[in-house]
Structure 1
Amino acid sequence: MSNLLTDRQFWVDYWESKTGLSVNIPADYLFHKELASIIKTQNVKTAIELGGFPGYYAVFLKKYFKLDVTLLDYFVHQPVTNALLKANNLTENDIHIIETDLFNHNEQQQYDLVLSCGLIEHFNDTKDIIQRHIHFLKPGGTLLITLPNFKALNGWFQKSFDKDNYDKHNISCMDPQLLAGICAEAGLEVVQAKYFGHFSLWLENEKQKPAGVRILKKSLWLAGKVFTKVFPFNSRQLSPYIILEARKLYR
């Protein structure tokens, strides 16, 4: 079985279907507190975002923390990234871009922070893709991986109303303890591995879905938000994300 659950054409089609990609990234962008804490406590100066086109987190890290940032993905459409940079008052020179297949990339440079958001779940071999993250990590550096939790209600919604997208994800890797175990086995110190966020639902290309699906999604989203406003907690059943933070020890 191939390690990849997607191919290049999937991502070309995916990004070509999107509009409004060049947005102004806010200071309270998702996971901003976690990133701010890592950067402050670990004195982060360099970072790489893996699989992050068009580069939202790379832009976030440059814009608000002035890091030396690299974006690596095997599909990069430069005009989109340039427009994103411009929308955030940055220039083409503010972010290093590497367009390459992660599995054929032999660069030896290492970084204080290695970040991916929504990448590892597109591979069958979770241990292997995490090891490829660790390859970029300096001793003492921090690994931050986030991914969707399709074992939650959001996953049922995806499976029921967007099966093609659901099938592009490795559901078995959506387990904080599994991810923590892989990092520990690789010699990293696990800082946190947990379900993250109280509740959310989403659909890719939602406007193209039937009206009934969109109404159901809106109703469930509202009910879930109200419930978790009253009873705020992270859980496997409701939390939309998983977050893993680990540190590479000095040897």
Structure 2
Amino acid sequence: MGNLLTDRQFWVKYWESKTGLSVNIPENYLFHKELANIITGQKIKTAIELGGFPGYYAVFLKKYFKLDVTLLDYFVHPPVTNDLLQANQLSEKDIHIIETDLFNYTSAQQYDLVLSCGLIEHFNDTADIINRHINFVKPGGTLFITLPNFRALNGWFQKNFDRENYDKHNIDCMDPKLLESICKQAGLNIVQSRYYGHFSLWLENEQQKSAGVRLLKKSMWLAGKVFTKIFPFNSKQLSPYIILEARKP
């Protein structure tokens, strides 16, 4: 498993450290416009979220678009997912859940929409993990991947104040041109591969950081938000995310 930058114990510890996971997913959830355009434009009926526990996007797609949704991850804690479903007026029957190792799993089904948000950057071999996504996409279907942009100011902040988390990410894969070339080589048509969002900063488990670090983060966040409110643009230097959208012929 040399491809992995994390292991199961990392994710158990990660999710056990979190509180307030069962949130009401809003209609304007992150990337909602992009997903709405795909779903309406491509007449999406089925979707799978890879590596998505506790299933925020699976819930979003079921709640607002009534898709036939599957969640696949190699760590699923059912009480958390069930609480999330209940918080969004959904039941256990509304989402198919597959707990498995993506590297030892062959799906009998392909989907209209295959998405992951914050997954591929935890693997060393970017082409390999993207191609595993592509295996789930049916002909004519859409691949939608998002990941953080740690080559931006947000990455500098992570590197300096949360090095342990930073080191769990493959920084080299945070390149829209690289992602585009991998998909083209796999025979997909690129819809978009670009930096996304004007500015943001975050820290995992922020309340555990020192008061000085929290104050610096708040100050930088405020300054960045004011600047990009006046000069709104997507850029390698400031955008917190990268999005990739591609279609299988």
Give SS of 2:147's match. Answer: strand
Q: Note the 1:49-198 alignment, pairs <5 A.
A: 49-198=49-198
Distance in 2 (CA, whole Å) between partners of 1:67 and 1:115 is 13
Distance in 2 (CA, whole Å) between partners of 1:218 and 1:22 is 25
- Residue 48 (1) aligns with residue 71 (2): no
Distance in 1 (CA, whole Å) between partners of 2:106 and 2:140 is 21
Q: Give how far 1:29 is off.
A: 0.1
Q: Give how far 1:50 is off.
A: 0.1
Give SS of 1:62's match. Answer: helix
Q: Which amino acid aligns with 2:72?
A: L
Q: Structure 1 runs of 4+ off > 6 angstroms?
A: none
Give SS of 1:4's match. Answer: coil
Q: Which amino acid aligns with 2:227?
A: F
Distance in 2 (CA, whole Å) between partners of 1:78 and 1:50 is 16
Per the alignment, residue 7 of structure 1 pairs with 7
Q: Give how far 1:108 is off.
A: 2.2
Distance in 1 (CA, whole Å) between partners of 2:198 and 2:61 is 25
Distance in 1 (CA, whole Å) between partners of 2:94 and 2:109 is 18
TM-score by length of 2: 1.00
Distance in 2 (CA, whole Å) between partners of 1:107 and 1:37 is 26
Q: Give how far 1:106 is off.
A: 1.4
Q: Give how far 1:138 is off.
A: 0.4
- What is the aligned residue count? 249
Per the alignment, residue 229 of structure 2 pairs with 229
Give SS of 1:237's match. Answer: coil
Per the alignment, residue 214 of structure 2 pairs with 214
Quote the RMSD (CA, aligned, Å).
Answer: 0.6
TM-score by length of 1: 0.99
Give SS of 1:235's match. Answer: coil
Distance in 2 (CA, whole Å) between partners of 1:139 and 1:106 is 17
Per the alignment, residue 200 of structure 2 pairs with 200
**Deviation string for 1:86-105 (max 9, x for gaps)?**
00000000000000000001
- The sequence identity of aligned pairs, in percent, is 82
Q: Which amino acid aligns with 1:115?
A: L
Q: Which one is further off, 80-89 or 1-10?
A: 1-10
**Deviation string for 1:49-72 (max 9, x for gaps)?**
000000000000000000000000
Distance in 2 (CA, whole Å) between partners of 1:185 and 1:162 is 35
Distance in 1 (CA, whole Å) between partners of 2:127 and 2:2 is 14
Give SS of 2:4's match. Answer: coil
Q: Give how far 1:107 is off.
A: 1.8
Q: Which amino acid aligns with 1:158?
A: Q
Structure 2, unmatched stretches of 5+, are: none
- Residue 26 (1) aligns with residue 4 (2): no
Per the alignment, residue 238 of structure 1 pairs with 238
Q: Which amino acid aligns with 2:106?
A: N
Distance in 2 (CA, whole Å) between partners of 1:143 and 1:228 is 29
Distance in 1 (CA, whole Å) between partners of 2:105 and 2:84 is 25
**Deviation string for 1:209-246 (max 9, x for gaps)?**
00000000000000000000000000000000000000
Give SS of 1:76's match. Answer: coil
Q: Give how far 1:185 is off.
A: 0.4
Give SS of 2:190's match. Answer: strand
